[in-house]
Amino acid sequence: MVNQNLHIEEPKPTLSMHPKKFAMWLFIVSIVMLFAALTSAYIVKQADGNWLSFDLPGIFAINTVVIAISSLTMHLAYLAAKKDALGKVKLMLLITVVLGLLFLAGQYISWSELVKNNVYFVSNYASGSFIYVFTGLHGLHLVSGIIFLLITFRSSLLSEIHSKKLVQIEMCMTYWHFLGGLWLYLYLFLLFNL
């Protein structure tokens, strides 16, 4: 005789993530920790005194708009991939790359503005050094984002990105949005703490 009250327990669903996405998130967390440590050091050093106050380069505001627009074009590329609008994917990725390069050019211009205002990387005032470190490290990570964009663009040219194969463009979008958010954080932090 079979017991009809026998209850078979269903396995509970587990949280799963693509291994490449998991690695990317670990990388993002490490960047967050780096910049959290740097902004904390900035606040501690500022409290010590001997702090040079100066205006941020005007190009920082322009760069903020540029990176916000690039985040939008990156998102449009992703949405186009979900709809298999492959021509639009390529166009939006290319525009995002160009905007990323414009941002980097703006950072170079900002360093030139700082030098014109006698704010140097190495000086008696730590405030100038922090500006160069913040923008330099962000720029370095932005270069890695542009490389990722170019790899994703190449994949789009080879028709390797479409509605059934979105992992690469999702990762690229997440990292690019993160870089835009990081810049916004740094810009606002410097704007209110210089």
Average pLDDT over every residue of 178-194: 93
pTM of the predicted model as reported, rounded to 2 decimal places: 0.87
Domains in the chain, number: 1
Burial class of 70 by CB neighbour count within 10 A (0 to 12, 13 to 18, 19+)? buried
Query: pLDDT tens-digit profile of 102-157?
Result: 999 999 999 999 999 888 887 767 888 889 999 999 999 999 999 999 999 999 99
Query: pLDDT tens-digit profile of 32-70?
Result: 999 999 999 999 988 887 777 888 999 999 999 999 999
Domain coverage including residue 168: 56-193
Return the pLDDT at 15: 64
Is 101 inside a domain boundary?
A: yes
Query: pLDDT tens-digit profile of 142-164?
Result: 999 999 999 999 999 999 999 89
- Look up tokens 């990570």; give the residue: 141
Contact (CB, 8 A) for 67 and 103: yes
Is 50 inside a domain boundary?
A: no
Is 125 inside a domain boundary?
A: yes
Is 22 inside a domain boundary?
A: no
Q: Which pair of structure tokens corresponds to residue 29?
A: 């967390």
The answer, yes or no, to whether residue 175 has pLDDT greater than 90, is: yes
CATH assignment at residue 115: 1.20.120.80
Instruction: Give how far Cα 151 sits from Cα of 135, 141, 145, 146, 178, Å.
Output: 24, 15, 10, 9, 18
Dist. CA 58–CA 166, nearest whole Å: 38
Is 7 inside a domain boundary?
A: no
As beta bridge partners, residue 136 has: none
